[in-house]
Amino acid sequence: MEKGKIVLLPGEPNDCNRDYLPEAIRDGRMVVNENGNNSQVYPPLLKEHRECVVAGEGEDVWYEYVPANYDPERKTPLVISCHGGLMTGWGQCIYTSWSHVADREGFIVVFPNAQRQRMWQIEFDPAKKEMLSKPIPGLPQIALQDGPISGYHDVKLILGLLERMQEKYNIDRGRIYIQGMSMGNAVASQMARHFGHLFAGAAGSGCPTDTGLLFDEEDRVRNEGGPLDIMVSRLEHDVVPPYYPLKNKDTLMKNYQYWKLVNGCTGLPEISIRGDYNFIFFEGEKARFSIMDVKNRDHGQTFDDAEYMWDYNFSGVRRDADGNLAHTGCDRERKGDRVSVAVAEGCDMAWTGGETVPVNGKVFSWKKLKYHGLGGKEIVRGEYLYVPAAFCGRIWGADFRQNQDGTVCELDLRTGEHLQFARGSVGCVADNRVESMLCEAVHRDGTLYIPLVWFAERFEGLYCSECNGVTYITDHPARISTYTAWILKDLLGGGYGVT
């Protein structure tokens, strides 16, 4: 099929708005950029539908986006996109780029409304029923559901909409996907874990799943839906709900472990960091698992979430007639950075070129100190990860030599430059000229250590970023984010210490 064209409509910015979802956006040209969300002009092709989908359970509301290039003679993919708590289906559409991507790719998107007070019915850990029964300031009271989730109205709504869309349009049954934001991500996860066989892929941003719903008391996986391609978007400054039993880091890492186990992801991933966007791609034995970790963003969703979720996940998977997942190439190649080196404090392994390699020493952090006046207190003017000078030589193809006790070493670089380092000296001799490093060379266990960032920037011309005791180095602008740092440290054997 020939690709459609994405057309951005000019809007009327309302920078004074502080409402979470201003009703004035609807059917107008207002756009807002606040509260972690960015909006587009209300799409003319977005149509509201009101009808009873679940027999005897009241009126339901949903929104359908059918692109202009929809061809009823051609099998068409379907995406179900679920809004966040206190939002609406039309709000999820204007706060995302799903309609834009649908215009280009020719698929249909359905945006359902949660039926009760704009809050989805989602499963909960029974151990927290008393806590969740209490009002949460600023939010409507959560309507806790008893019994299996197959009895939840909102679950039946989504399943009913799947049937209706297949009756109304020429839907490709092997290419049905679900996605959500915040509380809508909890819905997408719920559908994936219990009804995953109905979808080829699921994705979401914000609000990871309560770990009590992922693992039982014996730490065994809870899953009824089976494997399917999963992509999660994590935003660096997002935090988990206050009633979750584990802290933010531990909850995210248990969610990460869960989908690796369900999808059979046992090998190393491809890692690519471009600007603030950190991508991690696993190819599992049963299904793919992808992560997009975004630097310096808080709760919500990036406006281009839909673009990446389609390009890196939904575009390359379908269910065949037997219900098995069939993978093809995605619209964007799921490849890691061509040049990449990462080290983590306390680890003796490093990441380089998509593989883990020994450092031949343990990476440690060293502070640059400054003392003011006689007897003055110390001030930290920088803190850097140190690696053996021999490691730098091995990674970047330099010849390495050292004296008998390792207090002096030399490197002959590929460029022809000759470097000399000595224990305790902040100076490096480069082609018989003195240069000051970030901090002095440190001698440990018969090995001379130097600051990795200084060497990579000065002699290899690479970009370096640091987060949570992990340094990432590549040949283009890249800023490692929190979640990626945790995962890299785990991959390098440092663990993350779930409590």
- Looking at residue 127, its pLDDT comes to 64
| Nearest partner of 441 among 420, 459, 426, judged by Cα | 426
Provide φ and ψ at 23, rounded to 5°: -65, -25
Provide φ and ψ at 157, rounded to 5°: -60, -50
Element (H, E) at 486: helix 482-491
Report pLDDT digits (tens) over 358-411: 999 999 999 988 777 667 788 888 999 999 999 999 999 999 999 999 999 999
Alpha carbon distance 36, 303 (integer Å): 10
Element (H, E) at 280: strand 277-283
- Looking at residue 379, its pLDDT comes to 85
Q: E-strand spans in 355-489?
A: 355-358, 364-371, 378-388, 399-402, 408-412, 418-422, 427-430, 433-436, 442-444, 447-451, 463-467, 470-474
* Mean pLDDT across 136-149: 68
* Mean pLDDT across 31-53: 90
Token pair for 470? 């992990």
- Looking at residue 497, its pLDDT comes to 46
Cβ atoms 192, 106 nearer than 8 A: no
447 pLDDT higher than 70: yes
The mean predicted confidence, pLDDT, of the chain is: 93
| 457: exposed, middle or buried (Cβ count in 10 Å: 0-12, 13-18, 19+) | middle
Percent of the chain with pLDDT over 70: 94
**Which residues lie below 8 Å from residue 313, measured CB to CB, with a gap of 6+?**
177, 201, 203, 229, 230, 231, 288, 290, 330
* Mean pLDDT across 241-270: 92
- Looking at residue 113, its pLDDT comes to 97
Report pLDDT digits (tens) over 191-213: 999 999 999 999 999 889 999 99
Percent of the chain with pLDDT over 90: 80
* Length of the chain measured in residues: 499
281 pLDDT higher than 70: yes
Alpha carbon distance 80, 187 (integer Å): 11
Which residues partner with 76 through β-bridges? 171
Q: Cα–Cα distances in Å, from 114 out to 65, 91, 94, 428?
A: 18, 12, 17, 64
